[in-house]
Structures are given as structure tokens and as C-alpha cells.
Amino acid sequence: MQELTNLALGSGQPAYRGQQLFDAVYRQKIERLDQVSTLPLEYRARLAEQGWEVGLPRIARKFISSDGTVRYLVELADGETVETVWMPEGDGGESGDGSEAGDEIDSGINAERVGWRRATICVSSQVGCAVNCKFCFTALLGVKRNLEAGEIVGQIAAVLREQGVEPPLQRVNIVFMGMGEPFLNYDNFMKSVRLLADGVGIPESRMTVSTAGIVPRIHDFGHEPLRPKLAISLNGSNDALRSEVMPLNRKWNLGELMKAAREFPLRARERLTFEYVLLADVNDAPEQAREVVELVRGIRAKINLIALNPGTELPYRTPEQERVLAFQRILVAAGIPAFVRRPRGRDIFAACGQLKRTVE
Ligand code: SAH
């Protein structure tokens, strides 16, 4: 916003032209500079001469799941692609994190109007990922580059326009859980949060960011005046196990990670989420559930259990449902809210950990 205001002032335009440009891109989602009718014709021409363009990333491909989930392959200006997922009913990931107060009334009205109660958009923060978790497809791509803040917001704006949805009138949740590690692209990620809150009209209380456990950034994030909720990918109940499935654990081990989690300043009624991907006969035993109980003791936390979304190139198997429920029961019996995430869009490779630009 400030950057657009400076741009306008720099060409001798009044400061409010910055706001008009901002609204054109993020609220009206206008495609071309010459269509920004709030700006004088000559200023539009001037901007075009200077090489400026407005517009959103292009939706290159779209895959629709039998459960209503849509996976978008979004093409950026340099031809790179990332994936963005639209989930008309979410995946239950927001259960019990303190964000659903008042939902029953509001969401009923919303459901009558548009046919869904709380859509969730899962957005990418990098092209590929550098973290190398052994059960995740995106890891196979390696990392190509960081996304700009405008490219992160652009994915969301493009999907909202495609779906004909306009926040804040219609309720949308954002999860920074697509391709990439948001905390390894921290500044652009945080800038996109501010753009979404101020420009698109999605309050930060409806956003959740997930990190694989970049400990120094968890600390920084806790001090942000405006921030989404935090989820941490745990996935292993002791250091040996977590290092095996998430080599990143050798850099920031469970001791450091849980210390950062313990010190994280939660807001009133807020809970810290831990995600735990269950891998059959690797990390899904009752004993490991009991280790998780010990790890999170004293933290106002909830746990999202995700049964592995399978893929041919991965050396892991999905546990039986009974095994997942047994794991959940141990957590719940210890007083820890634990939810089993519904897999969304598995048939189109849109579910957690399946994003790798599959087009076949
Ligand atoms: N890089 C961040 C953001 C991605 S969130 C992070 O790791 O938290 C994606 C979530 O999906 C993570 O919790 C991850 O542990 C989980 N995940 C990765 N691969 C998966 C798979 N094959 N099946 C189920 N969940 C998976």
C-alpha cells in the first residue's frame, strides 16, 4: 500500500491514487491497466509506459475432486507454476482452535446463499520446497524460488474471482499450507498477510500458517502485531523418529522446537495446533501417542492427525482407520483436543503433501 502510494507521489499524482491502484488489483481484481477506470486516462498511459502491469496470476489448469475440492495450477509471470487448493467445506483443520465462535449462526446464512459454510483456500508460499520431509511430495521438487507477496495474494485473488466469492461478505479461511515453507520466505509471507487483511478483507483470525519448525521464525512470528494462527508440523514423537522423517529436526530438535512452542504468546482462547502425519508402523503406535502427550504437556494445544496421503514414490503406508482412532483416543483421554483431518481431494492429488504440480 505504502509502495503504491509512493509510486503515485513519485509521478506527481495525489497520494490517493495509491489506494485506487490497490483497490483495483485486490478488491476489484481488474485484469488490465487500461481498465482501471478510477485512474485518469493519462496516468494509466503513463504507468503503462513505465512498464507497470496489473492483473492476477493465470489459472493454467483446474482439477475438480469428487468431494468438491478444486486444485488449481496457477501460472506466475515468469512461467513458474504453483498449486492453490479450494476446499468448499474445509477439512476440519480449524476445529477447536478458537476460530469458530459464532459460526453456527453466520455460517447457516452463508450456506443458504452459496452452498458452503466455510470455504478454505490453501495457498503456496514458494515454488517447490527446500525442507525435504520424507513423506511429502513437494519435497521431491526441491525449491526453485520464493514467491513475492503479490504472488501469494494473487493466487487467492485469482481463486476468489474464479469462484465468484467476495470477502468479507462471504466467509473464507486461508491456510498457508500449500507448496513451500512459509517461514523460509518470512518477509513476503508476512507482507501477504497484511495485504490480505487490509486489501482483500480477510481478517487474520481466519488465517493459519503451518511451519515445519523453523525455530527462530516461530519466535519472530510471536511478536507480530498482526498475525495468523500458528500450526507446527510435529510428525515424530521423539528426536530419533522426527529426524528420520523430517531431517530438519537435526537442525532444530524437539527440545528447541517445544521450547519455542511453550514460549509462544497465545491470544485469549487461541490454541497452538500441532499437525501429526500418521505413517503406518513408523510413528503411529500407542507408545508414540503417549510420547506426544508428554511433549505438549503444559501447552494450550490441539492436535490435527492426518493419515498419510499416499503416493507411489513414497516409502510409507497409510495406517488403518482403527489405528488412527486408537492414536486419537490416547490424546483425548489425556485431555488434549485431537481431530482427524478429513482427506480432501485425494483423487486429484490435492490433499496435504500431494502438491507437486501433477498434471497427468
Ligand atoms: N511447509 C509447511 C507448510 C505445509 S503444510 C509445513 O510443513 O508445515 C502441509 C502439511 O501436510 C504439513 O503438516 C505436513 O506435515 C503434511 N503432509 C506432508 N506430506 C503429507 C502426506 N503425504 N500426507 C499427509 N500429510 C502430509
- How high is the pLDDT of residue 261? 98
Q: All 3 cell numbers of residue 62?
A: 483446474
CB 222 within 8 A of CB 264: yes
Could you say which residues of the chain have pLDDT below 70?
98-117, 360
Nearest residue to 328 (alpha-carbon basis) of 300, 304, 295? 304
Pocket test for ligand 1, best of 129, 133, 283, 313 (most atoms within 8 A of CB): 133
Q: Which atom of ligand 1 is nearest to the CA of 316?
A: 22
- How high is the pLDDT of residue 108? 60
The catalytic residue among 83, 94, 151, 181 is 83
Q: Which atom of ligand 1 is nearest to the CA of 309?
A: 23
- How high is the pLDDT of residue 103? 46
**How many angstroms does the Cα of residue 353 sit away from the middle of ligand 1?**
5
Secondary structure of residue 35 in the 3-state scheme? helix
Q: Is 83 a catalytic residue?
A: yes
Q: All 3 cell numbers of residue 278?
A: 500418521
Q: All 3 cell numbers of residue 340?
A: 482427524
Q: Measured between alpha carbons, how far is residue 224 from residues 32, 227, 230 in Å?
A: 34, 6, 12
Please tell me the number of Cα atoms within 13 Å of 122 on its side-chain side. Answer: 29
Q: Whose CA is nearest to atom 3 of ligand 1?
A: 177
Q: Is 112 a catalytic residue?
A: no
**How many angstroms does the Cα of residue 297 sit away from the middle of ligand 1?**
23
Structure confidence by residue, pLDDT tens digits, 42-58: 999 999 998 888 888 99
Q: Which atom of ligand 1 is nearest to the CA of 179?
A: 4
- How high is the pLDDT of residue 66? 93
Distance from C-alpha of 127 to C-alpha of 347, rounded to nearest angstrom: 23
Nearest residue to 64 (alpha-carbon basis) of 175, 162, 151? 162
Q: Whose CA is nearest to atom 15 of ligand 1?
A: 233
- How high is the pLDDT of residue 284? 98
Global pTM reads 0.92
- How high is the pLDDT of residue 297? 94
